[in-house]
């Protein structure tokens, strides 16, 4: 997890899972208090991120990065989840949550917990990580700590780059209070006219197009001193504050303080009333900038006069004010990713090529295996980022684009990256005369503008671009290649858990299955035809798809294990997801536990499932893993041995995934692959692995040290080693 553009918070939209009607089995034998609030559970997830920043055994620049991730995550939480709660209250849709609590009460809980977390976050930076960085000669300095020479050089930078783009906006009878954009950093300035003595207020927006942390010029005094910090930064707002006299000549400066506003940036689109979804989305993106305020962050030294003025003008309450030590907005720490200090980062890991796709001519640097020939030998399971995305998924599509025997390519695109080789492969295929269908989900939250751009590029290149079904987000990760071989057509299919995004593939843990099984090929072909048509109605053979069949299919398989346990047979359910919220799935797991089924749940983020219900959750264990990679794969395994059934796919256990998205799980049938996936989940459940354990009342406890104080095994490092060892072993037998 390294920058704000790629972090998947798992939040969902404000319409997802908030206050949907709870569907409960008649005559429920389960207690009423069996769920944990999803908003508080998400805050607990972000607390786990913060705990990594607090951990002195984590490399120092990675700790700073986790501080930035925490800040970015919390911004999104307020923009989407808190905004959604407030909107429901205003619109009169404030029905009780799944724990029977009013949204007003949940907002109060969120405020208390978020205040505590933000204050803790600020302390970790100021009292721990910042001093540790300074000890490593990476210093964030105050203006008072600079030499005259350094101040002169920074003043020159201010004059050349900063001053020309500043726009001080005064507030007086002729100038109304300016619009404050969401997440912008600002200076609130109170000034006094030297002649009239009248006090006025002005706002200066810190330019977002400039680096937030200004590097102190290396020509400064002491730069050649080996004891002098070699990476020194000054916050941009501090540089501006020191030169306010340039902006308000002849005025007396009374007070100046930084502040930052968060606005509602969730979107509401009435698709059935919008003939052109792209146009409707662009209009909504424009409206998003003007959402109502939901949080005001201020520096702890802000005076009451300035604060009250902001509260009045922004129509915000004291409960929504977060008073914090400077600097605000620690997303600025993402800039440290450019600091060249590999000794302060995780050891570099280079993904290996999956054995099946290892080229025969391995001495050639650019040699690549014939992916179609390899898939014909049997299903191929790849595990990113331990195994390379570039030499598997990317190569699969690039070879398909060039292969004269390939007739058609169909693919879903949920999130992709700039200069994407995946998009380029589709363009190349279309230009080579192949039929190419790209199902672009333009409503992928906070990637809408990017996806609109790529959709138009694809259309101009001759790719058939469709936008899915009205009212449903297309979240499944599938690609289909139709190839002519010996006068017959063969389907080659990839079904994955992660996006077709080369950038995130280096940082997200995901799994993908390549197969030429005609059953999967027919399933996926029908799914694409229905997505480019009007509805999803059919059942499939080797796929479980939402919104019609996925929940039912999972409940059926959980029920099978419940019945086996009731008959005294071994029974096991293993689930790895990003979020566990859906009440029907949770209730089924409770009943399975009550029947004696062993239930292991590996969840990265939100978990409404409780493990502190005597007689109900006794056989349920819940673990969470956070680290250098963002755990993103979804695995569902039912039973053991020859009776086991294993799926991978795109769906989390949330209402949005099961009811309002097009999702797909594919059954993994190769016994070796099935066992690899089961072993992977078991690794996280092993008491010798470093994980967070879910405990009473939704609390999470980190278990990373043994009884004698030795570090427990890191799940991701262990997986890395296991894959490399397994690859060597199978290569020997090859």
Question: For residue 681, is it within any domain?
Answer: yes
The reported pLDDT for the residue numbered 534 is 65
Regarding whether 206 and 181 lie in a shared domain, the answer is: yes
pLDDT at 72 over 50: yes
pTM over 0.75: yes
- Stretch 397-418: mean pLDDT, rounded? 89
Average pLDDT, stretch 170-187?
Answer: 87
Is 122 inside any structural domain?
no
* CA dist 98 → 35, 205, 287 (Å): 7, 41, 31
Contact 551, 537 (CB under 8 A): no
pLDDT at 22: 43
pLDDT at 663: 93
* Per-residue model confidence as pLDDT tens digits over 281-322: 445 445 545 578 999 999 999 999 999 999 999 999 999 999
The average pLDDT across 272-286 equals: 48
Do residues 191 and 307 both lie within one domain? yes
Share of the chain above pLDDT 70, in %: 87
Average pLDDT over the chain reads 88
Q: What is the mean pLDDT of residues 584-612?
A: 98
Q: How far apart are the first and last CA of the chain?
A: 35
Cα distance between residue 114 and residue 604, in whole Å:
19
Higher pLDDT, 574 or 443: 574
pLDDT value at position 18? 44
Domain count, the chain: 3
Q: Last residue of a domain, which of 316, 340, 364?
A: 340
Pair 207, 285 in one domain = yes
Give the whole-angstrom CA distance, residue 236 versus residue 204: 12
Give the pLDDT mean for 50-63.
Answer: 98
Model confidence at 531, pLDDT cuts 50, 70, 90, reads confident
> Known binder of ligand: residue 492?
no
Is the residue at 554 inside a domain? Answer: yes
Residue 205: Cβ within 10 Å count: 18
On whether residue 512 sits in a domain, the answer given is yes
Write out the H or E segment, with its range, that includes residue 191: strand 185-193
Least confident window among 43-52, 114-123, 427-436, 534-543: 534-543
Is residue 626 within 8 Å of residue 63, measured between CB atoms?
no
DSSP string, 362-423: TTSTT----HHHHHHHS-EEEEETTB-SIIIIIHHHHHHHH-TTEEEEEEEESS--TT-HHH
Please, are residues 399 and 433 in contact by the beta-carbon 8 Å criterion?
no
- Across the strands, what pairs with 663? 546
Q: Tell me: is residue 445 an annotated ligand-binding position.
A: yes
What does the pLDDT read at residue 227? 59
Asked if 593 and 617 count as a contact pair (C-beta separation under 8 A), the reply is: yes
Same domain, 190 and 289: yes
Which of the four pLDDT bands, split at 50, 70 and 90, describes residue 11? low
The domain of 274 spans 142-340
The span from the CA of 75 to the CA of 512, in Å, is 31
**Whether 714 and 587 share a structural domain:** yes
**For residue 143, pLDDT beyond 70:** yes
> Do residues 510 and 614 both lie within one domain?
no
Note whether residue 633 is domain-resident: yes
* pLDDT at 575 exceeding the cut of 70: yes
**Residues 522 and 644 occupy one common structural domain:** no
pLDDT in tens, 453-475: 777 888 899 999 888 777 788 88
- Both 426 and 571 in a single domain? no
250-262 confidence digits (pLDDT tens): 889 999 999 999 9
> Cα separation of 303 and 193, whole Å?
20
User: Is the same domain home to 276 and 405?
Assistant: no
Given 533, 568, 600, the domain boundary residue is 533
Residues 6+ apart with CB under 8 A from 607: 36, 41, 579, 580, 581, 601, 622, 624, 694, 698
Q: Is 70 among the domain residues?
A: no
Give the residue ranges of DSSP H helices in 567-670: 583-595, 655-659
Identify the pLDDT of residue 149.
94
Q: Which of 656, 664, 653 is nearest to 577 (CA)?
A: 653
User: By mean pLDDT, which of 344-353, 372-381, 619-628 is the weakest?
Assistant: 344-353
Query: Is residue 329 assigned to a domain?
Result: yes
Instruction: Count other Cβ atoms within 10 Å, centred on residue 580.
Output: 26
What's the average model confidence in pLDDT over 555-584? 97
Say if residue 363's pLDDT is above 60: no
pLDDT at 24 over 80: no
Domain identity same for 383 and 440: yes
Q: What percent of the chain has pLDDT over 90?
A: 71
Contact 692/702 with Cβ under 8 angstroms?
A: yes
Residues 263, 285, single domain; the answer is: yes
Q: Is 494 noted as a catalytic residue in this protein?
A: no
Together in a domain, 575 and 525? no
Last residue of a domain, one of 287, 316, 340: 340
Handedness of CA 547, 551, 554, 560 (dihedral sign): negative
Using DSSP bridges, classify how beta strands 321-324 and 620-624 pair: parallel, antiparallel or unpaired: unpaired
Residue 277 host element (H or E): helix 277-288
* 629 assigned to a ligand binding site: no
Q: And the tokens for 440?
A: 């672009």
Q: 121, 475, 549, 673: which one is catalytic?
A: 475
pLDDT at 448: 55
Contact 471, 444 (CB under 8 A): no
In a domain, residue 76? The reply is no
Annotated binding residue at 621?
Answer: no
**H/E element holding 46?**
helix 38-54
What is the arithmetic mean of pLDDT over 357-384?
Answer: 86
- The whole-angstrom separation of Cα 611 and Cα 137 is 46
Q: What is the CATH number of the domain that holds 191?
A: 3.30.1840.10
DSSP letters for 157-171 = HIIIIIGGG---EEE
For residue 450, the domain's CATH number is: 3.30.870.10
Specify the residue for token string 């902006």: 247
């Amino acid at each position: 997890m390294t920058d704000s553009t790629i972090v998947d918070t798992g939040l969902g939209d404000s319409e997802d899972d908030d206050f949907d009607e709870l569907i409960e089995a008649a005559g429920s034998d389960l207690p009423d208090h069996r769920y944990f609030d999803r908003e508080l559970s998400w805050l607990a997830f972000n607390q786990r991120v913060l705990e990594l920043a607090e951990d002195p055994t984590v490399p120092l620049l990675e700790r700073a990065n986790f501080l930035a991730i925490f800040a970015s995550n919390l911004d999104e939480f307020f923009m989407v989840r808190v905004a959604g709660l407030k909107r429901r209250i205003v619109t009169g849709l404030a029905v009780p949550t799944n724990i029977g609590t009013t949204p007003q009460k949940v907002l109060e809980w969120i405020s208390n917990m978020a205040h505590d977390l933000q204050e803790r976050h600020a302390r970790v930076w100021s009292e721990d990580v910042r001093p540790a960085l300074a000890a490593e000669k990476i210093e964030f300095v105050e203006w008072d700590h600079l030499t005259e020479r350094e101040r002169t050089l920074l003043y020159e930078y201010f004059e050349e780059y900063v001053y020309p783009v500043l726009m001080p906006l005064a507030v007086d009878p002729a100038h109304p209070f300016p619009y404050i954009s969401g997440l912008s950093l600002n200076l609130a300035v109170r000034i006094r006219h030297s002649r009239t003595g009248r006090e006025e207020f002005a706002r200066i927006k810190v330019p977002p197009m400039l680096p937030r942390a200004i590097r102190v010029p290396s020509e400064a005094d002491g730069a050649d001193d080996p004891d002098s910090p070699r990476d020194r930064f000054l916050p941009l707002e501090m540089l501006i504050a020191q030169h306010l006299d340039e902006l308000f000549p002849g005025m007396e400066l009374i007070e100046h303080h930084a502040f930052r506003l968060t606005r509602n940036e969730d979107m509401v689109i009435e698709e059935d009333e919008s003939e052109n979804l792209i146009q409707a989305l662009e209009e909504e993106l424009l409206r998003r900038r003007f959402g109502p305020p939901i949080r005001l962050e201020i520096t702890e030294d802000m005076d009451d006069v300035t604060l009250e003025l902001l509260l009045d003008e922004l129509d915000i309450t004291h409960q929504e004010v977060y008073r914090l030590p400077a600097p605000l907005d620690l997303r600025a720490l993402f800039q440290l990713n450019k600091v060249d200090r590999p000794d302060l980062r995780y050891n570099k890991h280079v993904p290996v090529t999956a054995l099946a796709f290892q080229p025969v001519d391995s001495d050639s640097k650019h040699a690549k295996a014939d992916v179609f020939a390899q898939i014909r030998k049997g299903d191929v399971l790849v595990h990113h980022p331990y195994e390379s995305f570039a030499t598997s998924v990317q190569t699969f599509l690039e070879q398909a684009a060039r292969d004269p025997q390939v007739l058609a390519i169909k693919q879903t695109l949920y999130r992709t990256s700039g200069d994407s080789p995946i998009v380029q492969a589709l363009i190349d295929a279309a230009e080579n005369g192949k039929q190419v269908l790209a199902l672009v989900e333009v409503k992928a939250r906070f990637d809408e503008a990017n996806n609109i751009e790529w959709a138009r590029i694809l259309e101009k290149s001759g790719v058939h671009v469709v936008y899915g079904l009205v009212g449903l987000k297309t979240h499944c990760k599938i690609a289909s290649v139709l190839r002519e071989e010996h006068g017959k057509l063969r389907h080659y299919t990839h079904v994955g858990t992660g996006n077709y995004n080369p950038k995130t593939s280096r940082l997200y843990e995901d799994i993908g299955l390549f197969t030429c099984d005609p059953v999967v090929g027919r399933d996926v072909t029908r799914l694409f035809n229905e997505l480019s048509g009007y509805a999803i109605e059919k059942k499939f053979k080797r796929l479980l798809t939402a919104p019609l069949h996925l929940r039912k299919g999972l409940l059926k398989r959980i029920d099978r294990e419940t019945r086996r346990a009731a008959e005294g047979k071994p029974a096991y359910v293993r689930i790895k997801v990003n979020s566990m919220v859906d009440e029907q799935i949770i209730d089924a797991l409770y009943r399975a536990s009550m029947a004696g089924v062993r239930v292991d749940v590996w969840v990265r983020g939100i978990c409404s499932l409780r493990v502190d219900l005597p007689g109900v959750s006794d056989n349920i264990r819940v673990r969470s893993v956070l680290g250098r990679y963002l755990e993103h794969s979804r695995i569902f395994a039912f039973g053991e041995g020859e009776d086991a059934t294993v799926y991978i796919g795109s769906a989390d256990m949330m209402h949005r995934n099961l009811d309002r998205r097009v999702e797909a799980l594919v059954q993994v049938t190769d016994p070796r692959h099935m066992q690899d996936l089961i072993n992977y989940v078991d690794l996280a459940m092993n008491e010798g692995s470093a994980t967070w354990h879910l405990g009473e009342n939704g609390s999470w406890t980190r278990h990373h040290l043994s009884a004698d104080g030795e570090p427990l095994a890191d799940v991701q490092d262990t997986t890395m080693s296991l894959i490399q060892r397994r690859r060597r072993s199978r290569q020997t037998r090859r």
